[in-house]
Amino acid sequence: MWTDLKAPSLADMETMAHELFERLPARFRDLCEGVIIRVDDFPTDEVLDELECESEFDLLGLFQGVGLPHQSHADIARLPNMVWLYRRPILDYWAEHEERLGDIVRHVLVHEIGHHFGLSDDDMAEIEAAAD
């Protein structure tokens, strides 16, 4: 039975993230217009250095960009806001905990998008609960 199982690929996890995003409350998704969701195996060395991570497994996800509370109409053109999910650290976390993979991916996704909005942990927990 276990010999046929394999970890989801980058494409599989990106599909999962987009499907989970579509299950989040519509009022939340509507505010995320233009936010790009990407999956990579690990954060870049630059990200690890900037966040002073000890290991490439320390970071499950990352919001990169300018969050809504900090945006201005006078801003010059900038790169799009992105949410990164890191497949290998997420899989490592999953292997060590009693949670479903989809629940972990949704949690990281909501948490990182929450940075876009400047939300509190309680706000993010409420959004996750509404997605169930």
Torsion sign over Cα 53, 40, 118, 111:
negative
In the structure encoding, which two tokens stand for residue 2, read together?
């276990």
Highest mean pLDDT among 12-16, 62-66, 67-71, 81-85: 12-16
- One-letter amino acid at 72 equals S
Across-strand partners of 43?
A: none
How many degrees, rounded to 5, is the angle at CA 132 between CA 40 and CA 8? 30
At 42 the pLDDT is 97
Q: What is the mean pLDDT of residues 12-16?
A: 96
How many degrees, rounded to 5, is the angle at CA 14 between CA 11 and CA 18? 140
> E strand or H helix at 52, and its extent?
none
Full set of structural domains in the chain with CATH: 9-66+79-131 (3.30.2010.20)
pLDDT tens per residue, range 25-54: 888 788 787 889 999 999 999 999 999 999
pLDDT tens per residue, range 77-119: 466 789 999 999 999 999 999 999 999 999 999 888 887 777 7
How many degrees, rounded to 5, is the angle at CA 32 between CA 30 and CA 33? 80
pLDDT over 90 (residue 121): no
